[in-house]
């Protein structure tokens, strides 16, 4: 099968016209972040935010036009918000700015653009650069372990990081971050976050005893999350990682809608069933116009601590394949390793307990890739600013 080229795609997209500007979307510099991988094509169409809701037919027409090209297996086009429509087009290969040195003040231009996705309506959290959800389609895939280690890895690359445990049904942050005690509130209104390893943390687990069963109704869940976002003295943060509750039900959807997310990371195990769930996770964020920054495959391979033999307990590479099929970014894989489990359970996650080890390096690579995407506004698929609608 012949390889599809960027030029062929752009030529084809010239047949798609912007009804309001009487020209085609390529000539209007609206196409950005074009990525081609093994016949899977992804690109963004930049539009002014207020036009987003009306332009689904345009997005669909662009997708269909490219899909008709021989050699194209899948196409993902996303509408992205740009206040002056198309201003970034042509800039998609710009190198991401290097992460700031630890403790260095952040130049305004290096800030991720990002809180909010399409949610200009969602209230921002002052001082917080980008809020990133770590989510999974189902429970037990290692979402909290990943959220915790990613926070630490983002901190290792010099960023100011907060970690919010939104998994209010089964908060695990206090244990994983090795924090006990309760947050204080000197003025009786705003809570001071707890802190360990340089990460500011908040979790319902700090406020109620670990063995208290939590029975929450929808509105209570939402107000608890809102309070943990807005009534906590987060201060200046580059990134706030939110460990979402597992699943893709109504509660998760509402949360994803309410939090001004800059993007989401999906954690998945390689099992097919989990991948189906991961797909639900992707769709959930798409529904609420939050860019998916990529998928992390957790527990990808078991490496025997005695002989080093690699056992692919679940089918290996499934998440990567799935990501490619969906035109999504694959952020990396973490092996199933006893040290990752023990260190998390002991409250000294692997990124701090074995800072120079292979696992820490992997988390740091993933953190860098996430930060690159946030700071360049290149989110989904592979490259693009904030998604307005799908
Ligand atoms: N890569 C890994 N290697 C070994 N153990 C892991 C790995 N990732 C997670 N675990 C272990 O798997 C268990 C579940 O992980 P975790 O609590 O992070 O999952 P979760 O998806 O957040 O679960 P929940 O649905 O309860 O929120 C924990 O004991 C954790 O230490």
Residue found under tokens 């639900």: 280
Indicate the average pLDDT of the chain.
77
What phi, psi does 26 have (nearest 5°)?
-80, -45
* Cβ–ligand 1 contact at 298 (below 6 Å): yes
The ipTM estimated for the assembled molecules is: 0.97
Instruction: Identify the H or E element spanning 163.
Output: strand 161-165
* Cβ–ligand 1 contact at 141 (below 6 Å): yes
What are the structural domain ranges in the chain? 6-81, 108-376
Give pLDDT tens digits for 283-332.
888 888 888 999 998 887 776 667 777 766 556 666 777 778 777 889 99
Give the tokens for residue 216.
């929450």
Q: Which of 385, 378, 386 is nearest to 97 (CA)?
A: 378
- Residue 260 backbone class (left: φ over 0; alpha: ψ -120 to 50; beta: rest): beta
Q: Are strands 17-18 and 23-24 parallel, antiparallel or unpaired?
A: antiparallel
Q: Which of 75, 56, 78, 51 is nearest to 65 (CA)?
A: 75
What phi, psi does 383 have (nearest 5°)?
-140, 125
Choose from 105-119, 220-234, 341-355 the range with maximum mean pLDDT. Answer: 341-355
* Cβ–ligand 1 contact at 281 (below 6 Å): no
Q: How many A from CA of 223 to the centre of ligand 1? A: 27
Query: How do the residues of the chain divide into helix, strand and coil, expressed in percent and rounded to 5?
Result: 35, 20, 45
* CA distances, 362 to each of 149, 234, 307, 365 (Å): 10, 27, 21, 5
Residue 155 · residue 197 · CB < 8 Å: yes
Give the tokens for residue 64.
């269909």
pLDDT of 48 > 80? The answer is no
Q: Indicate the CATH number for domain 6-81.
A: 3.30.300.130
Q: How many A from CA of 140 to the centre of ligand 1? A: 6
Q: Which atom of ligand 1 is nearest to the CA of 139?
A: 25
Q: Which residues are part of a known binding site? A: 137-144
Choose from 68-77, 213-222, 353-362 the range with maximum mean pLDDT. Answer: 353-362
**Quick one: 19 exposed, middle or buried, by C-beta within 10 A (0-12, 13-18, 19+)?**
exposed
Q: How many A from CA of 329 to the centre of ligand 1? A: 22
Q: What top-level class would CATH report for the domain 108-376?
A: alpha beta
Ligand 1 pocket test: pick from 136, 138, 145 the residue with the most ligand atoms within 8 Å of its Cβ.
145
Q: How many A from CA of 217 to the centre of ligand 1? A: 26
Give pLDDT tens digits for 359-378.
999 999 999 999 999 887 65
């Amino acid at each position: 099968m012949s390889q599809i080229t960027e030029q062929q795609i752009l030529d084809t997209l010239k047949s798609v016209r912007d009804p309001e500007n009487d020209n085609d979307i390529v000539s209007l510099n609206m196409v950005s972040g074009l990525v081609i991988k093994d016949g899977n094509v992804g690109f963004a169409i930049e539009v002014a935010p207020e036009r987003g809701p009306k332009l689904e037919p345009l997005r669909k027409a662009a997708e269909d036009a490219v899909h008709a090209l021989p050699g194209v297996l899948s196409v993902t086009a996303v509408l992205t918000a740009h206040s002056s429509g198309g201003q970034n087009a042509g800039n998609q290969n710009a190198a991401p700015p290097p992460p700031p040195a630890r403790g260095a003040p952040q130049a305004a231009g290096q800030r991720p653009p990002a809180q909010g996705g399409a949610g200009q309506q969602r209230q921002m959290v002052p001082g917080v650069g980008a809020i990133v959800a770590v989510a999974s389609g189902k429970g037990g895939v290692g979402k909290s372990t990943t959220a915790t280690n990613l926070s630490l890895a983002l901190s290792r690359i010099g960023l100011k990081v907060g970690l919010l445990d939104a998994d209010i049904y089964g908060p695990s942050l206090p244990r994983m971050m090795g924090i006990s005690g309760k947050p204080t509130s000197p003025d009786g209104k705003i809570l001071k976050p707890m802190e360990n390893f340089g990460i500011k943390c908040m979790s319902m687990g700090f406020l109620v005893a670990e063995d208290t069963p939590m029975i929450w109704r929808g509105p209570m869940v939402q107000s608890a999350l809102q309070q943990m976002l807005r009534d906590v003295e987060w201060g200046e943060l580059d990134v706030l990682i939110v460990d979402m509750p597992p699943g893709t039900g109504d509660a998760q959807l509402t949360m994803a809608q309410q939090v001004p997310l800059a993007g989401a990371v999906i954690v998945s195990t390689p099992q097919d069933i989990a991948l189906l769930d991961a797909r639900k996770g992707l769709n959930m964020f798409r529904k609420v116009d939050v860019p998916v920054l990529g998928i992390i495959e957790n527990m990808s391979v078991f490496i025997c601590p005695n002989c080093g033999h690699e056992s692919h307990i679940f089918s290996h590479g499934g998440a990567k394949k799935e990501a490619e099929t969906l035109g999504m970014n694959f952020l990396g894989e973490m092996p199933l390793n006893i040290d990752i489990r023990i260190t998390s359970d002991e409250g000294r996650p692997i990124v701090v307990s074995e800072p120079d080890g292979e696992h820490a390096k992997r988390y740091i690579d993933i953190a860098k890739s996430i930060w690159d995407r946030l700071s360049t506004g290149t989110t989904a698929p592979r490259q693009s600013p904030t998604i307005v609608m799908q």
